[in-house]
Amino acid sequence: MRPLIAGNWKMHGTLREAGALAEAVRAGATAGLPADLLVCPPFPHIHIVAAAMLGQTVAVGAQDCHAAGKGAHTGDVSAAMLRDIGATHVILGHSERRADHGETDAAVRAKVEAALAAGLVPVVCVGETEAQRLAGEAEAVVEGQLAGSLPDGFAGIVAYEPVWAIGTGRTPTEDDIAAIHGTIRAALVARFGPAGQATRILYGGSMKPGNAKAILALAHVDGGLVGGASLVAADFLAIAAAAG
Ligand code: PGA
């Protein structure tokens, strides 16, 4: 399946910097690139980035949404609002949100349902902590997160992001990545059948131009979710080029 390289810009940049980064990604998103591209700016920058990408091949997403369609939820943003300003995707259940905001699997599942109802493609993140990996629990943790975070009828993208590899410059071995992605594929197929076979599974955590080719070549790695390196257009595009 055609890989997807997604940039998670997290809480970085000014409006001007977001515009410049979007323009640089757009300019580099040539027809020959072997991957689809998605960028996920912070909420205040989505509109201008979506406008810059309008009619282009680069999709734009958010990094979270609320589970409710509307209502008295001060400070929150609904999936429909994101659709309205040009987003087509939304990252949900990122480990930073699970940690910073106490998001449980059930909370993530409710957000995934809201995203799907609003016509957004959810990018659902799962991944073990270092302690869980050292205890030999990585696969069980990820299976549990998938079971709890994905609603019936799920149609979206899954991202495997080991918590200890995010922003640390450390990555699992290629064998370990392949093993978990195989486990995720098996779980998706067991639950969703052919749709699970067609679901993209991204790897995330310290993906860089230097390690992208080897990681993206692994079985059941259908792209990447890139944090730090997505803030430099040349690095983000080099990762996309490595998907070929
Ligand atoms: P990183 O972040 O590439 O900076 O490790 C990945 C992520 O958190 O999505």
For the residues 117-146, what does the mean pLDDT come to?
98
CB 161 within 8 A of CB 204: yes
Closest CA to 41 of 24, 26, 21: 21
- Output the CA 7–ligand 1 centroid distance in Å: 9
Number of independent structural domains in the chain = 1
* Measured CA distances, 34 to 15, 30, 59, 111, 210 (Å): 29, 9, 15, 31, 17
pLDDT number for residue 125: 98
Per-residue pLDDT tens for 10-67?
Answer: 999 999 999 999 999 999 999 899 999 999 999 999 999 999 998 888 999 999 999 9
Q: Is residue 226 within 6 Å of ligand 1 at its C-beta?
A: yes
CATH number, residue 25: 3.20.20.70
Per-residue pLDDT tens for 101-116?
Answer: 999 999 999 999 999 9
pLDDT over 90 (residue 180): yes
For the residues 139-167, what does the mean pLDDT come to?
98
Q: Give the mean pLDDT of the chain.
A: 97
Angle at 56 between CA 52 and CA 60, to 5 degrees: 65
DSSP 8-state symbol, 106: H
Active site residues: 94, 161
- Output the CA 217–ligand 1 centroid distance in Å: 19
- Output the CA 140–ligand 1 centroid distance in Å: 22
In percent, how much of the chain has pLDDT > 70? 100
The CA distance from 54 to 51, in Å, is 5
Question: Residue 220 burial (CB < 10 Å; 0-12/13-18/19+)?
Answer: buried
- Give the strand pairing for 201-204 and 157-160: parallel
Work out the pLDDT band at 219, boundaries 50, 70, 90. Answer: very high
> Which residue's entry shows tokens 């996920």?
40
The CA distance from 135 to 139, in Å, is 11
Q: Is residue 227 within 6 Å of ligand 1 at its C-beta?
A: yes
Which structural domain range is residue 180 located in?
4-241
